Amino acid sequence: MKNINPQTKQPWKILWFGDLVTPSGFGRIGNEVTRRLQVRGYAMQGASISYTGWPHDLPFHVWPLGGQDIWQGLVMIVNTTKPDLLVSCQDFPYHQTVWSTCRIDFSRVKWVWITPIDGTPIHPDWVKLADYADGAMVISRFGVAALKENGKRVALLQPGVNAQEFYPAADEERKAWRELAGYAPGSFVVGAMAMNQGRKAIPPMLEAFHRFAVDKPEARLFLDMDKASPAGWDIPNLLKQMGWTEAEQKRVDYRADLFERTTNRETGECPFHPMRARYGLLDLHMVIAHREGFGLPHIEAMACCVPTAALDWCSGPEIVGDGRGLLVKRLPYMEHGTWGGARDAFPDLDDLTEKLETVYTQHELAAHIAASGLAWANKLTWDAAADQVEAVIQSALERKRNERPSHEPTASQPHEISHLSDTRGPSRGIGSDVHDTFIPARPGDDGHTSAPVSRDPSLQRPESGDPVPEVAGGDGGRGGDGRAAGDLSPG
């Protein structure tokens, strides 16, 4: 049996490090894949960066690392639980820290990393990580090709969509949602499920909608993102700076305002907490990003039979190409951004405006695009994603290392592990500021902290305490480290 270690006759022990429990992009991938690996007989445990100990429904133990020194915690967990294999599902700087800084004995623990490729070129140090791991996966075909161009072979983890969670709304259901949201009959609603962060091309999306809606009083824009973010823009004031009139500004609706006016004050329940209900408000969905690791909101919109638009760069063509969505042209100009030097692309505003006009005027074509997207999204299952991960895990477990790792493990510290109990909550260790995650000089030592981890906020869990059980799937941010505290849409 694949799940049994032939030496111990016990299930292979796998530790998944990343965003488990939490509903970020990384969290969605981890939650869905690890459930299936547990069912297949692997002995799973988790170490979640943003989890602080609240109840969860994953069928295995998850160590909370939120609000503390995650690297010291990870080292203690590895050296206490002694997994056969460590999976790190995060951005490249996290994998780099796991390999080069954490005192884990990789002669005994196999290692697989999973990451998005948010544009090219890829930072040379990140490329080298493919040589160190026992298995490597990326979440787009664009990413596979990008690493192949650098002489590295990695596997594809094709993200899925849960058809029990995201599916088309019936006409009466959609009508009821729109009435609850306060949208007049005949409204044409364009939506963007994304984080308010620099990597998302929010000003161009606003400008394209403004051009499109100038002669359409029934047009509305729903932004499933924070109104203001330190990682992005103060959107209400940005609209004023862009010259929108007061009447035009009132056409923009924000997630927080939707929740505010539709939440039952006595029960705290809101009909729009399930993301499917928010997708159900839309006639068209768009997330135009300067770079894209994958774009879970696109396939979620497709699964809800809503046409979606993406930029012709990175993963955009593989998601909305072949008539499954609307592929927006990009300008020939590009510039190197701050995320590992990857190039940022910019949308052709005329083409984006034309795409909005197409869905508005050509109903049959829009319906055909939506149906094509739905058919494709229904093929993207998390079972298939788990198959892909399991194949890489099996290959990694069989791999023989040619070289002994350059660093030795730290001693196990069982007396400290109680600080990580998911019933006791996290302890605040060295460098455990709530807003910055620090890298100790050598996790496992009682050393001093050094530079903060550069973390693409796209696929991260935000830090707001708002009781929103679901958020848009994972994409990332234009800058290197612009996490948006309080933003509930890591998409």
**Domain limits of the chain?**
13-160+382-455, 171-377
For the ranges 47-51, 205-209, 452-456, the lowest mean pLDDT is seen at 452-456
- The CATH number of the structural domain formed by 13-160+382-455 is 3.40.50.11930
pLDDT surpassing 90 at residue 192: yes
Note the pLDDT of residue 332: 95
pLDDT surpassing 60 at residue 442: no
Options 3.40.50.620, 3.30.70.1530, 3.30.420.40, 3.40.50.2000; CATH of 171-377: 3.40.50.2000
Q: How far apart are CA 426 and CA 68, in angstroms?
A: 7
Characterise 425 by phi-psi region: left (phi > 0), alpha (psi -120 to 50), beta (else). Answer: left
For the ranges 201-210, 278-287, 389-398, 420-429, the lowest mean pLDDT is seen at 420-429
pTM of the full predicted structure?
0.83
Q: What is the mean pLDDT of the chain?
A: 86
- pLDDT-derived band at 476, boundaries 50, 70, 90: very low
- pLDDT-derived band at 74, boundaries 50, 70, 90: very high
443: preceding bond cis by omega (within 30 degrees): no
Q: Which residues contact 478 (CB under 8 A, 6 or more apart)?
A: 197, 198, 199, 200, 289, 290, 291, 337, 338, 339, 344
Rounded to an integer, the average pLDDT of 36-53 is 96
Domain 13-160+382-455 shares a fold with domain 171-377 = yes
pLDDT surpassing 80 at residue 35: yes
Q: How far apart are CA 438 and CA 448, in angstroms?
A: 10
- Residue 192, beta-bridge partner list: 223
For the ranges 345-354, 379-388, 404-413, the lowest mean pLDDT is seen at 404-413
- Tell me which residue of 109, 50, 54, 79 sits closest to 405, measured CA to CA: 109
Rounded to an integer, the average pLDDT of 250-268 is 96
Q: How far apart are CA 239 and CA 243, in angstroms?
A: 6
Q: How far apart are CA 145 and CA 254, in angstroms?
A: 37
Note the pLDDT of residue 491: 52
Note the pLDDT of residue 400: 82
For the ranges 96-105, 316-325, 361-370, 467-476, the lowest mean pLDDT is seen at 467-476
123-156 pLDDT tens trace: 999 999 999 999 999 999 999 999 999 999 999 9
